[in-house]
Amino acid sequence: MKYYLCKWIPPRANFLAAMSADELKWMKQHGVFLDDLLAKGVIVAHGPVIEESGGYGVSLYQIGDDQDIAAFTSEDPIVKNSVGHYEHYVMLHLAS
């Protein structure tokens, strides 16, 4: 298994407070997407992080050695609709 901390970076600092109607729709789809991966055991946790600069999203993945993390995050509805991007950080292990 491989483990990743994935950080979703919004397109602008005030994004979480000032989403358009389309962005709100895609964010709801994003939540469903992540919850589905959580139910399948691909993600072990996910959620928003709020900070003074606006915030970002975090998800913890555990995937097979033959799988590519970008293949998962590129399927996220917010990425497919060009709303922000992911950064991927390798973790040595993940205890849950």
**Residue-wise pLDDT tens digits, 47-82:** 999 888 888 999 999 999 999 999 999 999 999 999
| 2-91 classified as CATH 3.40.50.300 | no
Domain residues of the chain, as ranges?
A: 2-91
Count of CB atoms situated within 10 Å of the CB of 7: 15
The pLDDT of residue 17: 85
Q: If 0-12 CB within 10 Å is exposed, 13-18 middle and 19+ buried, where does residue 2 land? A: middle
> How far is Cα 89 from Cα 30, in angstroms, rounded to an integer?
20
pTM of the model: 0.91
**Per residue in 52-90, is it b (16+ CB within 10 Å) or e — as a string?**
eeebbbebbbbbeeeeebeebbeebbbbeeebbebeeee
